[in-house]
């Protein structure tokens, strides 16, 4: 009897924990081994797509008024690779993926490729007509600087941060997101904008200029006040009067309706507030991240595999497309959140690991197919009728980030 008790109490748990550690290592290894092959294939697809551009320089410029095509974004209805110029909000994700490959493999091949794909994003550092600076520059140059400490990268990042804060509206205490749809909105802020604050927190630490910190905190605080419903779901777009600071409208752009919960918006929110807590230690940001996570994972329309439909209120659920990008952003955020909310860390890890397991088992692209993307079944904009049930570069970027965070946690290494 005593022998049995000993087995149950000490030996079996040890065997199971070793097994689950080995399984976890396997999933991280096998996902990165897949990414190694698939991203090598992606590079050849990118070269082909660029080579098929018109050779005549005038014609090329006409076709691409904004400059050369630099990064892959998705696949179109005919199966062609969609490439974007540096101005597109997604231009930084592919270079970021290459930096994550370098971080995991330590293989110089990936470093050289990452550098090559990062360089063309530099011109964005002075582009003040959009809020997407963090996505574009922090995912590319930010990861590059973190891993190489290249001083030139630092200069690009600082200049980008100064450009981003030119969009700050002091009376409303927000950074304006978009300049389009001027007939609809005066100064719109989208929940996605929380992600761009990471660049400002970085710039504060590097430059000691508290302007960056104050603007980031003000934006996050105003967003917390105005972007959320009582159940902690987030609106997509909130429009501000920049003189009075009053809220003019609460809308959606990529969600099902103004009152619905667009899946990727909830993911940006949980990631954004977790990151803001890391950078400020302000408990209200941690509370907000916890509330949004609970909203997501207690939602009756969240499928059992934890990969959400594109909107939690989409009318035809369960016959609606999924959004894998929302799942990868959320998984990455949950690994970080598990560090700060110790009481619930097991729950967050369980959710994140379930997402990673299910993506790895059921959502990966086929090797040598799908133009080199890693994951299928994301949704860019269902109302806009584009990138519905397609691969997306940002789904892949946050997948690799989540895998790296998972590995660091399991090896008790710091995430940052
Ligand atoms: N930031 C744009 C999007 O999430 O689609």
Query: Per residue in 173-197, pLDDT tens?
Result: 999 999 999 999 999 999 999 999 9
The answer on pLDDT for 6 being more than 60 is: no
Q: Kindly state the average pLDDT of the residues 237-263.
A: 98
Name which of 274, 294, 395, 285 is nearest 335 in CA terms: 274
Q: Using the mean position of ligand 1's atoms as its centre, give its distance from the Cα of residue 24 in Å.
A: 30
Which residue is closest in CA terms to ligand 1's atom 5? Answer: 380
Which residue is closest in CA terms to ligand 1's atom 2? Answer: 192
Q: Using the mean position of ligand 1's atoms as its centre, give its distance from the Cα of residue 50 in Å.
A: 25
pLDDT for 306 equals 98
**Would the CB of 177 count as within 6 Å of ligand 1?**
no
Q: Is residue 20 very low, low, confident or very high in pLDDT (cuts 50, 70, 90)?
A: low
Name which of 168, 121, 169, 167 is nearest 144 in CA terms: 121
**Would the CB of 192 count as within 6 Å of ligand 1?**
yes
The answer on pLDDT for 204 being more than 60 is: yes
Q: Is residue 5 very low, low, confident or very high in pLDDT (cuts 50, 70, 90)?
A: very low
Q: Cα(265)–Cα(284) distance, rounded to whole angstroms?
A: 19
Q: Cα(50)–Cα(56) distance, rounded to whole angstroms?
A: 13
Given the residues 31, 88, 192, 396, the one annotated as active site: 192
Is residue 132 among the annotated active site residues? yes
> Pick the residue with more confidence: 61 or 257?
257
Q: Kindly state the average pLDDT of the residues 133-145.
A: 98
Q: Is residue 52 very low, low, confident or very high in pLDDT (cuts 50, 70, 90)?
A: confident
**C-alpha neighbours within 13 Å on the C-beta side of residue 271:** 27
Q: Is the peptide bond before 240 cis (omega within 30 degrees of 0)?
A: no
Ligand 1: nearest atom to the Cα of 132: 1
Given the residues 132, 311, 370, 396, the one annotated as active site: 132
Structure tokens at 151: 């001083």
CA dihedral sign, ordered 146, 151, 153, 158: positive
Q: Kindly state the average pLDDT of the residues 399-403.
A: 99
Q: Is residue 64 very low, low, confident or very high in pLDDT (cuts 50, 70, 90)?
A: low
What does pTM read for this prediction?
0.93
pLDDT for 8 equals 45
Domain 22-410, CATH 1.50.10.10 — does that match?
Answer: yes
Q: Using the mean position of ligand 1's atoms as its centre, give its distance from the Cα of residue 192 in Å.
A: 6
> Pick the residue with more confidence: 76 or 2?
76
Per residue in 93-124, pLDDT (tens digit) is: 999 999 999 999 999 999 999 999 999 999 99
pLDDT for 67 equals 87
Q: Kindly state the average pLDDT of the residues 314-334.
A: 98
Please check whether residue 196 is in contact with residue 163, taking contact to mean a CB–CB distance below 8 angstroms. Answer: no
pLDDT for 58 equals 63
pLDDT for 2 equals 46
The answer on pLDDT for 391 being more than 80 is: yes
**C-alpha neighbours within 13 Å on the C-beta side of residue 100:** 27
Q: Using the mean position of ligand 1's atoms as its centre, give its distance from the Cα of residue 12 in Å.
A: 46
**Would the CB of 89 count as within 6 Å of ligand 1?**
yes
């Amino acid at each position: 009897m005593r022998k049995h008790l000993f087995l149950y109490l000490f030996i079996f748990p040890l065997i199971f924990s070793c097994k689950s550690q080995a399984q976890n290592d396997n999933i991280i290894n096998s996902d990165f081994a897949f990414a190694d092959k698939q991203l090598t294939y992606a590079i050849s697809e990118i070269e082909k797509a660029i080579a098929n551009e018109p050779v005549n320089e005038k014609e090329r410029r006409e076709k691409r008024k904004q400059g050369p095509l630099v990064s892959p974004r998705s696949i179109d209805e005919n199966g062609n690779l969609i490439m974007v110029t540096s101005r597109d909000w997604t231009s930084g994700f592919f270079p970021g993926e290459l930096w994550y490959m370098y971080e995991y493999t330590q293989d110089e091949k990936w470093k050289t490729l990452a550098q090559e794909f990062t360089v063309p994003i530099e011109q964005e550092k002075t582009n003040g007509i959009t809020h997407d600076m963090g996505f574009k520059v922090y995912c590319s140059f930010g990861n590059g600087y973190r891993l190489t400490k290249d001083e030139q990268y630092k200069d690009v990042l600082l200049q980008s941060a100064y450009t981003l804060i030119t969009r700050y509206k002091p009376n409303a205490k927000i950074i304006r997101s978009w300049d389009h749809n001027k007939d609809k909105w005066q100064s719109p802020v989208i929940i996605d904008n929380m992600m761009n604050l990471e660049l400002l927190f970085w710039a504060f630490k590097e430059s000691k200029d508290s302007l960056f910190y104050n603007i980031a905190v003000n934006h996050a605080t105003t967003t917390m006040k105005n972007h959320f419903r009582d159940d902690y779901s987030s609106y997509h777009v909130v429009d501000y009067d920049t003189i009075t600071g009053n809220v003019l409208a609460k809308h959606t752009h990529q969600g099902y309706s103004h009152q619905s919960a667009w899946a990727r918006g909830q993911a940006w929110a949980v990631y954004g507030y977790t990151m803001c807590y890391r950078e400020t230690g302000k408990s209200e940001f941690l509370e907000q991240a916890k509330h949004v996570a609970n909203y997501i994972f207690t939602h009756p329309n969240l499928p059992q595999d934890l990969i959400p439909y594109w909107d939690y209120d989409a009318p035809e659920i369960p016959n609606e497309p999924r959004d894998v990008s929302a799942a990868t952003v959320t998984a990455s955020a949950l690994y970080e959140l598990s560090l700060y909310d110790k009481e619930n860390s097991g729950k967050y890890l369980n959710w994140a690991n379930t997402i990673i397991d299910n993506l790895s088992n059921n959502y990966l692209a086929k090797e040598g197919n799908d133009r080199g993307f890693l994951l299928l079944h994301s949704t860019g904009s269902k109302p806009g009728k584009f990138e519905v049930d397609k691969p997306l570069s940002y789904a892949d970027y946050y997948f690799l980030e989540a895998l790296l965070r998972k590995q660091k946690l399991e090896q008790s290494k710091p995430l940052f």
